[in-house]
Structure 1
Amino acid sequence: MELDHLKTKNLILFEAISGSRSFGLATENSDTDIRGVYYLPKEDFFGLNYIPQISNETNDITYYEIGRLVELLQKNNPNILEILASPEDCILRKNALMDLLKPEDFLSKLCKDTFAGYAISQIKKAKGLNKKILNPIDKERKSILDFCYILKNQGSVPLKKWLREFPSSGGVSEGRGDLSQEKCGLVSIDNTKGMFALFYNESGDLNYKGIIQNEEANQVSVSSVPKEEKPLAYLFCNLDAYSTYCKDYREYWKWVSERNEDRYNVNQNHGQNYDSKNMMHTIRLLQSCEQIFKTNSLNIRVENRNELLDIKAGKWSYENAMKKAERLIKSIEHYHSVSTLPDYPDPDKTKRILIEIRENLYQ
């Protein structure tokens, strides 16, 4: 089913401008998002062709089937409650049956988890983004050799440096200033983690496996070493640090490939090292949650437009934005503890409303 089909068959119950324009945060560059509600014809609803929602390719236009909408209202989904609370000047179309769905019939203490919980997850995401922006990772991937160290006196030397600068004396690597990792053999040391005795075979006749067998290896290799051989050094492999690096590398370059370059450039230009647009909406969501528990109502049009737009423009430091978020979270905890809202929306009342709507639509 396509969006045009909803209009030609007169299946739309509600349609409104959403996002920044409905919140009162639109600027000249803001996109226009549309959210709506439709119902399925009787034969589709009772048959095998239930379609819960329909969106365009960019997801800036989305319509929810009335049953799916009520299901999400019952769960106190923030996006769906905000549709129901759309300001009058943003509503493009509204069937009178939609007046049966009032935000106050669905608001409950569950909003703490859905509104504030989602906002907190975005704060964690912002912290992760802040870390990525401040700590870029080179495209050239490190190997496990970069996490190996040779014990020396009371300290250690990076393995690669040690191999490169090993003294050309004593019959080992005679005539050269470096050692080859491929000619090394490692033997695990009992009762230790990541510790190995390192042996070296210049001629290669002992068939040591080397420290790693290839650059993509995720662990060092161990070799069979004759008992009479003497270790040249002792090596420590920090496998935990290597695993952390691999995870960070993978996440960083995934983020680079998926990031919105225009928004990233805006964030780079204002120099605050966080996604300022996302932070603005996170603060707005926390404010909405605080308002729900203070007033038992939801008004999505903000009263601090200039402050929020300053956050979006990067005029707030990351630290100050986080402090504001933390204050709001603390306030939400307080008002939630004294709130008179029910723990959950009334499922029987919700069911009655939905049945009444469908009976009117299908009569």
Structure 2
Amino acid sequence: MTIQDLKSQNLILFEVISGSKSFGLNTPTSDTDIKGVYYLPKEKFYGLEYIPQVANATNDEVYYEIGRFVELLLKNNPNILELLATPEDCILYKHPLMEQLQLKDFLSKLCKDSFAGYAITQIKKARGLKKKIVNPMAKEKKSLLDFCYVLQGYDTVALSLFLAEKQWSQEQCGLINLPNSKGMFALFYDATSRLGYKGIIQKENSNEVSLSSIPKGEKHIGYLSVNQDGYSKYCKEYTEYWEWMEKRNEERYNTNQQHGKNYDSKNMMHTIRLLQTAEQILSMGTLNIRVSNREELLAIKAGGMEYDALLEIADGRIASVEKHYITSSLPERPDEESIIKNLISIRELLYQ
């Protein structure tokens, strides 16, 4: 199904303007995000074509089937609770049956993990992104050879330098394992290429060194140390970095470059907002998504604060959330049995 199908068949139960405009954080360049709730035609719901979510290609318009919507509300999912808490001036349409889903019936102590937990995840993500921005990676990928070192006395020298000094090639090297010595190998060299050594690696993208059959009596030329763990870590970071480069939002990236603070400022703004929201829910038992500190949050988005100062603010908010969690009068979790009965009642009215 498409969003147009939902509209043409009058299946929409709830439709709102979400995101920055509902939070009161919109600027002249802000997009308009639309979210909503729908129900499926009877034959699809009772048949084998249950469709929990419908979105457009850019995901700035997303609609949830009412059962999926309730399921996420029961988990205190931040995006879904905020959707239900949309201010009146951002509600485009609301079916009378949606009045049976009251925000107060869903707010619970689960929000500590759903809101604050998500915010903590975003802080970790921001740290990782800062590392990517500050430490760009070369497009040319290193090979395992770059993580190999030859022992020389009480020191080591990079394999590439060792081979270059001797004008040797890695393809004419041979290795054998050293017992009880992880990552250590005896190194041999055959300048004639007659002994059939396999080289240190056989392919540029090899993840392990090659071992050779060494004729008895051949004298080793040294010992090779292979930092396999370091290479594995590098490969993981390389893949993550270039996937991020391909998928990054250029507008946000350019904004981050312009303010020069080396962190995703929009991400950090929403992280602080989420922590504020968790505080509000736990301390007051309510959820008002329209922020009262618009200018402060927009200043964060514009890169007006240092990264370490933001982390201090976040740490303080997290401590406050933990404190309010202990004293909150909210239930541990929503009354699932009662809410499911309510959902069944709504469905019966929709499909009668």
2:70 & 2:180 partners in 1: Cα distance? 61
Q: Which residue of 2 aligns with 1:205?
A: 194
User: Which sits farther off after the overlay, 211-220 or 236-245?
Assistant: 211-220
Q: Return closer, same or farther for 1:5/1:187 CA change in 2, 3 Å cut-off.
A: closer
* TM-fit CA distance, 1:86: 0.5
Separation of aligned partners in 2, 1:233 and 1:295: 70
Mapped to 1, the partners of 2:74 and 2:98 lie a distance apart of 15
Partner residue of 1:31? Answer: 31
The whole-number CA distance in structure 2 between the counterparts of 1:359 and 1:227 is: 84
What is the percentage of aligned positions where both structures have the same residue?
62
**Residues 1:305 and 2:279 aligned together:** no
Per the alignment, residue 20 of structure 2 pairs with 20
Q: For the aligned residues, what is the CA RMSD?
A: 1.4
Aligned to 1:333: 322
- 1:230 equivalent in structure 2: 219
Alignment match, 1:97: 97
**1:259 and 2:259 aligned:** no
- Residue deviations 1:101-135 (CA, integer Å, cap 9, x gap): 11111111111111111111111111111111111
Sort the Cα spacing of 1:83 and 1:183 in 2 relative to 1 into closer, same or farther, 3 A. same
The equivalent residue for 2:140 is 140
What do the CA deviations read for 1:262-311 (whole angstroms, capped 9, x no partner)? 21111111111111111111111111111100001111011111111011
* Matched residue type, 2:234: Y
What residue identity is the alignment partner of 2:334?
P
Deviations 1:75-97 (A, max 9, x none): 11111111110011111111222
Alignment of 1:278-293 (within 5 A): 278-293=267-282
Q: Which moved more, 1:108-117 or 1:290-299?
A: 108-117
Please name the residue that 1:315 is paired with.
304
Q: 1:319 corresponds to which letter in structure 2?
A: D
Correspondence for 1:172: none
Tell me the matched-pair count.
352
User: Whole-Å Cα distance in 1 between the matches of residues 222 and 160 of structure 2?
Assistant: 13
More displaced stretch, 223-232 vs 111-120: 223-232
**Shift in Å, 1:45:** 2.8
Partner of 2:154: 154
Q: Highest Rg: 1 or 2?
A: 1
After TM superposition, the structure 1 = structure 2 runs for residues 236-247 of structure 1, keeping only pairs within 5 Å, are 236-247=225-236
State the 1:42 CA deviation: 3.4
Shifted more, 199-208 versus 105-114: the winner is 199-208
Task: Report whether the alignment pairs 1:352 with 2:323.
Answer: no
Tell me the secondary structure at the aligned position of residue 224 of structure 1: coil
**Counterpart amino acid of residue 222 in structure 2:** A
Shift of 1:235: 1.3
Aligned to 1:5: 5
- In the TM superposition, residue 10 of structure 1 has moved relative to its aligned partner by 2.5
SS at structure 2 position matched to 1:36: strand
Describe the SS at the equivalent of 1:123: helix
SS at match of 1:149: strand
Which deviates more, 142-151 or 39-48?
39-48
1:217 shift after superposition: 1.5
Counterpart-to-counterpart distance in 2, 1:188 and 1:362: 71
Partner-residue secondary structure (3-state), 2:344: helix
Instruction: Name stretches of at least 5 consecutive residues in structure 2 with no aligned partner.
Output: none
In the TM superposition, structure 1's runs of 4+ consecutive aligned residues that sit over 6 Å from their partners are: none
- 5 Å-filtered alignment, 1:47-58, equals 47-58=47-58
Which of 181, 189, 195 does residue 192 from structure 1 map onto? 181
Per the alignment, in what secondary structure is the counterpart of residue 80 of structure 2?
helix
- Structure 1 Cα separation of the partners of residues 157 and 57 of structure 2: 54
Whole-angstrom distance in 2 between the partners of 1:48 and 1:212? 53
Instruction: Give unmatched runs, 5+ long, in structure 1.
Output: 167-177
CA drift at 1:357: 2.1
For the residues of structure 2 that align with 1:359 and 1:193, how far apart are their CA atoms?
Answer: 66
Question: After superposition, what is the alpha-carbon deviation per residue over 1:205-261, rounded to whole angstroms, capped at 9, x for unaligned?
Answer: 222111122222211112122232221111111111111111111111111111111
Separation of aligned partners in 2, 1:41 and 1:235:
68
Q: Which moved more, 1:76-85 or 1:95-104?
A: 95-104
When the two structures are superposed, what TM-score results if normalisation uses the length of structure 2? 0.96
Match of 1:192, SS state, is: coil
**Does residue 265 of structure 2 align to residue 276 of structure 1?**
yes
How far the C-alpha of 1:6 sits from its partner, in A, is 2.5
**Match runs of 1:70-109 below 5 Å:** 70-109=70-109
How far off is 1:343 after superposition?
A: 1.1
- Whether 1:69 aligns to 2:58 is no
